[in-house]
Amino acid sequence: MKKIALALGLLGLTALANAADPLNGTSWKTIDDKTKQPKAIVKFTEQKNGTLTASIQQILTKGEENACTKCEGPYHNKSLKGLRIVSGLKNTGGTSYADGTILDPQSGKTYRLKGEIADGGKKLELRGFIGVSVLGRNQTWIRAN
């Protein structure tokens, strides 16, 4: 009986360890800082190493479907649709995230990123920054699915 209980306990721990991250597979509407209107829908995907990436699935603002002309390296002149804008984001416990990067397609610049799922999973509060978190800006994305 003890062996069965131990085996079930180990299976339960294995299931918890392999559970997908709460952001994995979720889609979010990005919100324009100036107009407060939705700009795009991005989808998060968990990578084999446990980090998260997010790519633009749909552009919601007409006239902004063009290529990332200000982006550098592999993103230069790539279509915004399918563009990976979040990379390396790690779950730091529960609904908190850190150690990622975010690409701003309008400026072509990449910033460090941290965030947290808020409002019962309806919002994703993000902070992009250079160096230290104080030198950055906040964005709140709204759950799309």
In the prediction, which pLDDT does 7 show?
Answer: 43
Task: State the DSSP H helix or E strand holding residue 99, giving kind and residue range, or none if neither.
Answer: strand 96-104
The pTM is what?
0.82
The per-residue pLDDT for range 11-28, each reduced to its tens digit, is 444 334 445 799 999 999
The per-residue pLDDT for range 115-144, each reduced to its tens digit, is 999 999 999 999 999 987 888 899 999 999
Looking at the predicted structure, is the pLDDT value of residue 5 above 50? no
Output the CA torsion sign for 73, 80, 27, 117: positive
Looking at the predicted structure, is the pLDDT value of residue 112 above 90? yes
Residue 42: pLDDT band (50, 70, 90) is very high
Structural domains in the chain, sorted by start: 21-143 (2.40.128.520)
